[in-house]
Each structure stands twice: as structure tokens, then as C-alpha cells.
Structure 1
Amino acid sequence: MITEDKKEEVRDAADIVEVVGDYVKLKRSGNGFTGLCPYHDEKTPSFHVTPRLGIYKCFGCGESGDVFKFIMDQDGIGFTEAVRQLADRYGVFIPEEVDDEPSEGKQLKEGIYHALKFAGVFYYRNLIENPEAAKALQYLDKRGYNREVFKKFGLGYAPSGGDELYKAAVNAGIDLNYLIEADLIKPSQRGEGYYDTFRGRLMFPIFGATGKVIAFAGRVLGNEKTAKYINSAQTPVYNKSEVVYGVNFAKNEIRKNKEVILVEGYTDVITLNEHGIKNVVASSGTALTSGQMKILHRYGEKIIMIYDADNAGQAAMKRGIDIALAEGMEVQLLELPDGEDPDSFVKQFGKESFDELKKEEASDFVDFLILKADEEGRLDNPVQRGKVISEILVAISNIKESLQRQIYVQYLHQRTQQYRKGSDRELFEELERILKEKQKEDQRAERRERFREERSNRPPDMEMPPIPDQEFAPLDQFEHFEPPTKAKKPDYEKELIRLMITYGRGMVEYICSFTNQKLFEDDELKDFYLDIVERYKKEEEISIQVYSGKPDPFPRLVGDVLLEQHAASDRHHEKVGMKYEKDKNPHRTAKSTIKALELNFYKRKMTELADRFKTAETEDEKKKITRNQVKIQSKINVLTTTYSDDYYPDPESTDTSFVSEKKFEYKMKPRD
């Protein structure tokens, strides 16, 4: 614990006017200072700082406190961290706490921060001074950014030489280990030496909430066949799933406006900020996560999402809605005019037009999803219409407050009455079914996690002890729960896993565009699939080698899926009288495997519906089940009668470097 004496020493040393002045423009007024309150939006100053007493007070909203509370509120940190942050700023020595993180870990983090700060200065100076940065300067000039913008946002340029940052950092005495841990350099694969992670790119520093550089993003400047952006890998100071770009600039404005604007790009954040729209952040080049949403909820209650109109942007938007609702935030969506993004719109029309558009056009998530479905023509088709309503109910199911869920269901009923011609009862029943399914899935996930922990904690040569029955709820509470057996795992599920770990990210992206975990019957393979998806999101390596080195059950499952001699669709090929050698074309193999996965899923659903029909008590229930059976049977018919190569589109990528050159082999089906 930090002693009371030390706390008072820090309080005395810290200049509250200087600290508050970093966040609020203060003017002297009598014995104190006044300014616009950072806790609420106001036009007439009512926020007072009294240096003699070391306190602040807003006579508009009532907020008050000392220098510690101010830092805690503005930076979203705890008391101890606030004391240490001010102590570091004003040169007060605070001894290490016994319960603190081990000094070795703290030293590593501090070393990484130092290396990142050095890199930020290095990149900035290269942007300003290095003739090689002409392309970067030209790009920034087209964006309308001047040197003040460069400095404020720490923009820079990474030389293309290969090891210039490495040499400069070593010459400056920075420990090699810190440079590696910060993902600023990587060991050369050709032997001795190191090379810079970022080369020939425009650099965007990523700041933590307190303003420290914690990572970088680098943008390519030409038409090179490489990723447009690359980001720092996970490090001890950077967890990309808990970081949003621009939060250090936006947090106080988010508090004042009680809302945050979420955009997709780094330049969107910079441009909006420079045009006076400061409560804006981006998801740091990654899919939005619950960790990022928790950070945003710390500062504001409402989120306005602006995503691109392409398929990827719309899919990201729908995921973002679910995450924001689960976090308890009010969610609105804003679609800009065709061909515009936040950067271009604000440059062309200005802040006032953006504010007016936001006020007039930002839609509640229910209205927005209905509008998009209408634009896509999905409300004209009875089957698609039902899907749209179900998708919105799934979004509503993420809301934790039951009263809010009820209000949204009733609103959905009003908005879809013209299509449904029924009461809200069916909507509430469907929501209840979705909530029960989510609860069961959470219970299954919790149970799987408990199994994983028990497996990972026991010694390798130790048999798993019997599990007491009372650790789990009765089996009849879990609809799909079956006791562990030696039953053979479905071939098509194993084949899907084999394709993903054999061919990596491109294949994972292709397969996951048509599948989800609900299609899997085997729990272990479902967990394997989810683990692959998680590694894909985190931009981690996906390969046979990685999973062979992970804890049980992955090595066992890898052996199982790789030893499989026949593709999941062999039976289909036998029916049509031919067979091809596996992986002549991996995407074609994937198509037939996905088809088998979907077919078996729908067949299982048909069995479940038949069982439900037997126990249905009312005619309405039976009619509803029959309608579902008709829909699913229709899907089965289409899948059965359509060749997989025609049913699933080819991948967008034309990269076929991993496709085998072996010739197509076939055999005639023997006559009966």
C-alpha cells in the first residue's frame, strides 16, 4: 500500500492547475481559474479550480474533487495508478509495493514503452527529414494534413532500408530484448541479425488511454502486392482486442457529449478530429471486440457506428451491434451518402453538415436493420422476411435488461406489423427460445472451459479422476448433452479442420464465410473450429505445427484429422461414379465438405422437429413446426440436387499457389 505520507507528498507536489490544464482551457478568475467543464457539455464556464485548496468544482453539474480524482476520471484509471502517474510526473519517489507485479515484469514493460517512444520519434524525424519520405508527405498533403497534424498524432515514416530503426536504437543504447518484445524488429530468417518490422510505410502510432505509445500501424504507399496495413503484434503492453485508436484524444469529448462515434479508418479519426468532431475513435484495424466496447462504455453511454457499405463493412456493423448491446450501450447507426466516407464527407461539407446529418439520419439499430433488409429486397420474400425478424431478435437478445428487451420487441412488432399481421406474442416466444439457446450455449462453453482447465492442470502421466456428479446440473437440462463415448467423429467435420490447419488464413476466411460453430455435431471439433477462428481474428499463425504443439486435445485431434484417408464427400462421388484425388483443388474440396456439413446439420434439425411434433400440445405449435420442416426440407432438396462447385462461389482471391499440380483421377461407378 502507498502510505498516507506519500499520498500527501504527491498531492503537495502536483500542480492541480497544470494537471487540469492538460484537459481544460483555464482562465484566471479572482483567486482561482475557470473553464468549460470536462464532465458535461456547456457554453458558459462553470468549472472552477481553486489551487489554494487543491480542488475543483463544477457549479453546473456538481462534479468536484482533488487532483487524484480528476486524473482517475479523465484517464479511466484506479486510485493507485493515478497516484503513481502523478508521482512519476512530479518526481516523487514511490517504493514498489509487495503485492505489485514482479519488478522484472515492470522493468520489461517500461523498457518496451521506452523502445516504442524512441521508435515514434525516429519515424517522425524520418517523415520530416528523410528524402525517401516524399511519397508519404505527398499522401498526407493530399489528405490536407500539415506538420501540426503530424506532430499531434505522431505520424511518421519507416525507412525501407530494412534495419535502420534497429541500428539507430542499438546505437542509442536500447536493449535488444525490448525492441523484439515491442515487435519493432524481428530476427532474420537467413541467419544472424535483425530486420525492422515496418519498412517503407507511413506510420500511425497507437496510443493507450494515458497517451503512451503502445503499438504502431503501418500503411503501404504504393501498389505493392502486400497488406495495405500491418499492425504491431500482441505485446506485454498492447492487447489489440482492448484498444481503440484515438481514445486518448477522444475520451474527454466522449464524456462531454455522452456519446462516441465509431469509424473504420485511422484517417477518418484524424480528419474528423481536425474538423472539430473530437469524440471519434476507430477499432484499431481489428474486428470490434467486447474488450474494446468496455473501454468505450467507460467514457460514454451511446455509440454511433459508421461503417462502409460493402459486405465486409456491413458484416462488421452487425457484429458491432451485438457487442455494443451486450455491453449495455445505446446503439445507433449512420450511413453516409453513396461514395462518401467520414474523411471525404467532412472535408467536402464540414462539421455542421456532419452534425446535421447525424442528428437527422442516425437510426436506432432496429430501424437501421429493417431499412437495410428492405433495400436488399429481403422483406419482399416471406422466408427472408422471417430471417430478418429473427436476426433482429438475436440482436435484442444481447440486451441484459429485461425491460429494455421488452420495449425493443414491442417496437419491432410495430415496425413489422405490416409484414406479419400478427400479435407481439410470437416475437416474445421466439425471443424466449433464443435466450434459452444462448443460456444453454453459455453453459456448454462454461463446461468445456472447466474440462480444459482440468486437463491443462493435471500432470501428463496422471489419469483424469472421476468427476463428481454434483459438479454439473442434471443431464436433462442440457438439450444436446451426451456422455463421452468413443463414437467416430464425423468425417466432414474432420475434413473441414484439416483444410483450415493445412492451408491457413486464406482457407479459414473462405470456409468461415459459409459456416459457423452451430453446424458442428462433435464438441471437440467445434472447439477446434472456434479456436482457429479466434486465432484468425487475432492474426496469429494457423498451421499443423502450431496445433501439434498445443495442449491436449489438439495434438490428438490433429493426428485424427490428418490420418483420415478419404474426403468427407467420398460418398457423394461414389454416387456420381467418380472420385478425385484429395486437394487437387483445395477450394473444391472445401465446397463439397461444407455441403456435407450443412446437409447433416439440416437432417439433424429435421429429426429434432419430428420429435417436437410428437410432443406438441396445440395445433398452432404443430403448424409452426410443419412450416419449419417445409423450409428445411426445401434447403435439403436444393443442396442435394445442386453440385457443390455451383452452389458455393469461388474465393475472391486468385492465389492458387497451394493447389497441387496432380492430375484429376476418377473411376467409373460399378453397375448394379
Structure 2
Amino acid sequence: MSLPPGFLDELRTRLSIGQVVGRKVTWDARKSNQGKGDLWSPCPFHHEKTASFHVDDRKGYYYCFGCHAKGDAISFVRETENVGFMEAVEILAGEAGMPMPERDPRAQEKADQRTLLADVMEMAVQHFRLQLKTGVAADARAYLERRGLDAAAQDRWEIGFAPDAWQGLWDVLKAKGVEDDLILGVGLAKPSQKGGKPYDTFRGRIMFPIRDARGRCTAFGGRAMDPNDNAKYLNSPETELFDKGRSLYNHGPARTAAGKGQPLIVAEGYMDVIALAEHGFGAAVAPLGTAVTEHQLAMLWRIADEPIIALDGDKAGLRAAMRLIDLALPALEAGKSLRFALMPEGQDPDDLLKSQGAGALQKLLDEAMPMVKLLWQRETEGRNFDSPERKAALDKALRDKIKLIADPSIRQHYGQEIKDLRWALFRPQRPAFVPGRNGGRGWKNAPQPAMPSTKSSALVSGGEQVTEYLAEAKILAALICTPEVADEFESGLETLVCADPDHGILRDLILRHAHEGAEVLREKIFGALGPDTLDNMLSSRHLAIVPCIRTPGNADLARMTVAEELAKLSAAKGLNAEIADAMQDLEGVADEGVTWRLSQAAAAAENATRSGKEDTAEYDTGHNGARISRSERDAFAALMEQIKYSKPGH
């Protein structure tokens, strides 16, 4: 059976020989450099202990320095599976998701046809290059020189010129005996709709040859010299040689440069690629004026694990980057991703190189953001999340995007990174106790100056904040000792407003790292607060006696402690709220409403002092015959004393 032209090329493009061979061997970690596709292992074809078997994943070949076995992915499958050529192709095609073609008796004839078409394209390359040196191309040469391309650079990139003539190239090729169907077949001319001679596709344009990975010219890109031309850039139509969605400008040279360690840069156009390469960034490619396709993305990952997308700094460039995220998410694999270097607004790589030089571009490449950060930017930039509904909409949009990731490990890491970014965006501000109306005081979200460490905070100063401080400390210590229950109290922690700065830091670290285990969480705490803070906290006499802290890892005790202390804090806040309301009501005439608010405050005080056990306090009888507990009575008396001195004249 004969295979159609291009089938094996496509098969080799889709498959990584490193993955094919990697199923049969174990790579030597000391000699291998997987990032550069330089892989070594003991040879699978003869018994040995040293790693003399070399795989060049970028070029697609293997070679053993011991037994001298060599070949490509097809050869490897033939030898290791003991199958014939076509069976090996079928095995690899199945892995690559390519259906085997039907038997084609004219395969050789088609192969010969492709060779003829490629020859015609080379004739066109030479014709256009000669035209660039003529008088009619003076403006084109001047334009290229203004763009920084001297005669030597024009020759390196084989740049040419198509004069503004209807049959200029057609007549030249016909004079050399080229058949009409070949000229039309490679898209160099179009048939006339008026019955006349076919006319040239490219007229009045600077010509850039587009070559495949093997170096064959498969198409042209032409830049119009007329500023009023409807199409500034024009590519060859798709032909038997050229598939725009499976081609990259500068593919072959970029692959070679990336193999030598240069970063793979994806730019938008021919001139960007040329400018990058001329300034030392040889591993630069462009997707031929279209958005990156799925096939082009696979080709990029065959060249480098983390291509850097360097798109223009305008809205169109940013939109192209955002679209690429959706294309790449389902295809992400461990070690295979994208980074994004966004150019300054209104500039492309060529502009930046001319204005600021290679150093400025290198700085942008070094600071290229990972794809997860651009995903976050896309979903949050320019939006206001001032309501629960808007926050929920953001969460849903991000969850939907993360679900696109097929690899569960990458999906988990994306989820954690998004969680961290979300926490940074919605992080509650630490409170300050500031003066309110009529001389009163209340909590207000405002930055608070740094305070002494936990050791010398509210416990030293005493007062009404001690109870709140101890409740916070118990909650945090319980979760540090048993972090596996932290997820159950995530909502309560997120709304926990810590009066002590160290407590706020501990709360943040628990929310972000509790899922990673006690050891990792403690390391994060040590890094943020130092090694003594946590030890001092857990060994303090107030916390050391708490059962769940004495027995770390006891999930039931930890749950009970955290739930109880959160309830206490909630009740205490209810007390503060009722006191504030009652104080405001006293500005008017006292009535039943004030009395009701005071009773609510007393009830809140009772709830705040409960510890989940039955109240065994003695009861007194009020003036109206009702029974009140000692704690209610004391809280009520304290309130009345406070109210007394808040009235005018006191």
C-alpha cells in the first residue's frame, strides 16, 4: 500500500519520538535534558548498564553509541514490536489520532506532482528576488531599509518583490515551459473571469517566502506597497503544498535555534519575526496572520515546552492572547504550557527593538506571565465585584474554565492558584477601632498600624478584647494542629476579622495552605512570622490546656472547638451591635424600644459567655417578676451604667 504525500510528515509532526521511546526505556536523569529534548538511556536493543542510547526529540531521531542502532519513531516501533513498516505506521497513526488513508494506486503520481509544484515555487522565489534588485523596486528597498533590513538581511530572508503587472510572473514561468495547472495549483496565479489569460496573485507587493520545517517553499506572504490597498498583507491560498493552519513562518530555523537553548517566541507577523531574529532571538515564529490553531499549538510544543506569546500591545493583540487561552487549556500537559509577554501599548516586538533595544525585549521575556495569571486578568480586569452575586459569577466563570483542563494534576494546581488570587482580591481589611458618632467608638475597616507580636498583644493590655483575642487564638491554634478540618470552616474564616495583626496573618496562611498538610502549613508560618511565634502561642497557658491542642490531629475535638469559638465571636458581635443601636436610641425619648434593645443586648451577652454547657448560675427575680441569671443581671447593670454616663449632663 502506498501512502499519500505528506501523510508521514504529518505523522512525525504529531508524534514525539521521546514519548514513543519513553514507553520502553527509563531516561537517565543525570545525562538527560528533557527541556531541550536531549534524552539518554540504556539501549533497548542490547544489554548494557550505561546510558549510551541517545534520542533527539526535536529532530525526531535516535542513535546508540554502543550498537549503532539508529532511526526514527517508525523504525523504533518496527524493531521493538517486531512488525512491518505499514503495521508500525498504523500503530503510530492510532496513537496520533490519524485515520489510515485508503489505498491509493496513484500515490507515486501525486508525490511526483508535489515535487513539481515545489519546483515551481522555487522558480518564483528566484524571480521575486531578482525583481527586488531592479529599478521598479526602489521604493520597496527603501521601505525595507527604513525597517532596518539592509541588502545582506534581505538576502538572508530571501525577500523579493512582485511588480505591479498583471502577468509578470505568469509570462516568466510560461517562458520556462511550466504548465498552466502547476502555476494555478500553487496559487501564484488566478484564472480570469473574463476569458482572458490568468493573472498574477501578487502584484505591487514585497514578497516573503514561507517555508515548511523541511525548508521547502510552500507559500508566499506579500505586503502591499500601496497604502490604500484593501489587504495590507496577503498570503497564498491553500494548496496541495500549503495548509495555513498547519504552517509557521520561520519554522525550521526557529526549531534549530530553540534546540540550542533560545526561547521560542510567537509573534504576529513576518517583520516581527525577522526583527527578532536579526536582534539575536532566532527562535521566533509567526502563525501567518491568523489566530493560533490547535495544530500550530501542537507544533509549538514540539519545538519548546513553554513558548512565549509576544503579541502586539493593542486591543487586537490582547484579544488574540485571550482566545489562545481557551484553545490551550484542554491541551495542557505537565511541563507544557504558555507564557505571555505583552508589549507596551501601541507597540509590537519590532517597534520595541528599534526604540529600546534587545535588552528591553529580553526583560519582557524574563517577566512573561504564566497563563493562569492572564486567565485571571481576563476574568477580573475592569470589573467591580462589590456584591455576592458578582463574586459568584466570577467563581462560576473560573470554574468553567478550569474544568476544560483534562490533566487532573494541572487542574488542581490551577484551582489552588485561582484560590490564592481570589483571596488576595477579596481579602478582608484588618479593622481599626475608631471614634464614631456622638463620641462613641466602633469597628471600621481601615488599615491598622503594626502592633507588637502575639506574645504582647491583647492579653497584656487586658480589657474587653481579651475574650475575643482568646477565641481567635483557640480557633487558629486548633486548625494549625488539625489542618484537615479547615475546609469545613472556610466561610467562617473568610469573614473572621482579626483584631491582632499576627492572627490575621495566621488566618490567611490557614486558608491558603491548610490543604497541603500540617508540615507545610507550619513552614509557611515560620517563614511569615518566624520560628518562635507559633511555639509561644501553642505553649501559652491559655491554649496549652485546650483538649484539641493537647492532642493534635483529633478531628472531632478540633471541629467542636472551632465551631464553639466561632459561635462565641458571632454572639459577641451581636452584643456590640445591640449596644450601638441602644446608644443611638437614647438620643431620643426612652421608650419600650430602648428597653427591648437592652434586653437583646443582655441576651447577646449571655450567649457570648456560654461555652456550650448548661448554665448553672443562680437566678434572681426582676422587678416585673421575671427570672434572670446573674450573668444577664450583671450585663444589664453594666449597660445601664454606660448609658447613664452617656446622657447629656453626665
TM normalised by structure 1 equals 0.48
Structure with higher Rg: it is 2
**Length-normalised TM-score, structure 2:** 0.50
